[in-house]
Amino acid sequence: MNNALSTPWRDLPPELATALRPHLREVVAEIVAALPGEVPDYARPLEGAFGEGLRLGVEVALGRFLDLPGTTEPALSAEDRRVYLALGRGENRQGRELQSLLAAYRVGARVAFRRFAALARGAGVDPDALVPLAESVFAYIDELSATSVEGYAQEQSLRAGEDDRRRAELLALLTGGTADPPALRSAARRAGWPVPDAVVVVVVPRDGADGLSLGRAALVGRDGEALAAVLPQPARRTALARQLAGRGAAVSPAGPVTEVPGLLALARRGVALRADTMSTEDPLWVEDHLADLVVHGDREVLARLAAVRLAPLDAVRPAVRERLAQTLLSWLQHRGERQHVAAALHVHPQTVGYRLVQLRELFGEALEDPQSRFELELALRALRS
C-alpha cells in the first residue's frame, strides 16, 4: 500500500499537535457527551466504571492521534492494537453487536475533526492543513475500527470453537453411556443444549452425509465412516423425513438421553437392515422394523436355528421344499386360517390343505407346540430374507 495513503498524517505539520494537545480534555468531554444521543447502547448514565472507561478510551485514542502528525508511524502501536482488539473481543463477550462500537468510533471521528479544525484555525494553522487533517482523522478511526472488528471476529471464532468442543464432549458422554444423569445435565448446560424429554438417534451413511444440516438442536458427530446425530424426538416425522430424504439414513425409536447408546445401536442396525434388504424406505424408521431387526440379528444363530427347525424339509425335492416353506410361513402368520393362507399364496384352499397334510407328516407334533411354531416362523423369516 502507498505509505502516503496509509499514513496521511505525514503531511500534517508537527506544530498542529502542539496547538491541539492543551485542548485534549475538552475534546474528549465533547465526544463523550455526544455519544449517548447518537448511539443507543451508550444512552446510559456515565458515572462509575462505564463512564470512566469510556472517557479513558477516548482520551487514549486522541492522545495517540496527536503523536502522529509529521510522522510515518502506523496508526496503532503494538500495545494500542492489543487495546482495540480487546475492545472488539469485549463486545462479543458481552453479547453485543459490533455496530454500536463502530458507530461510537464514527461519532468520535466527526466530533474530533470538527473541534480540531476549529482549534487549528484559531491557532493560526495553515488552512491547507485541514484537508490532510480530515484524511488523517478518518484514516485513524478506520484503523481503530478494523482492529476492533478483528478482535470481535477472533472472539467469535474462539467462542464458536469452544461451543463446538463442548457439544462434541456432550455427544461423547451421551453415546458412551458412562456418565451419570447429573454429569450429563452439567455437560448439557455448558454446551447450551436443553435436555429434551426424549431423543432419537439418526445414523447417516458416509455417502449420504454431505451437506446435511439438522440445526442447532442436533448434536452431530462422526460414527466411524457414518454420521450420527442425537436430536429431540420430533413431534411428527414429516419435517425430519424431508431433511433425511435420499440419504439412506435410519432413525432410532425415541427414548430418554440415558438410553442413547442403545438407540445408537438400533439406528446403526437400521442402516444395515436397509442395505441388506435393499429397502426403498428412506429414511428407515427403526421402530417400524423391530421384528425385522430380530430376524436379521445374529446370522450365525439364525442359520443354526433354521438348520435345526427346517431339517424335515430336506427330505423333499427343492421345488417342493420351497412351496412347503412358503405355505408353512403363511400358515403360521395367519394362525392356521386356511382361507387367508390360500388368498396370500394365490392358490386354492384345497391346495393349502394338501400341503398342510405333507407338513404335518414332516414336522409332526412341532406344529402343535407354541415354542416350536415361534422358532419355525423365525427360521422361515430368516430364510426368506
Low-confidence ranges of the chain (pLDDT < 70): 1-5, 46-50, 160, 297-298, 385
Domain boundaries along the sequence of the chain: 3-160, 196-295, 299-384
Helix ranges (H only) for 200-309 are: 237-244, 260-277, 290-295, 299-309
Cα–Cα distance, 92 to 227 (Å, whole number): 32
- Residue carrying C-alpha cell 508511524: 73
Residue 277: count other Cβ atoms within 10 Å of its Cβ: 14
Q: Which three cell numbers stand for residue 278?
A: 435393499
Give the dihedral sign, CA 8/13/15/20.
Answer: negative
Q: What is the pLDDT of residue 56?
A: 81
pLDDT tens-place string over residues 247-296: 999 999 999 999 999 999 999 999 988 887 778 888 999 998 887 787 77
- Residue of 234, 237, 232 lying closest to 260 (CA atoms): 232
Confidence at residue 2, expressed as pLDDT on a 0 to 100 scale: 42
Nearest-angstrom CA–CA distance, 379 and 310: 7
The amino acid at residue 142 is D
Longest dimension (CA), the chain: 124
Q: Give residue for cell 402368520.
A: 333
Q: Which fold has domain 3-160?
A: Globin-like (1.10.490)
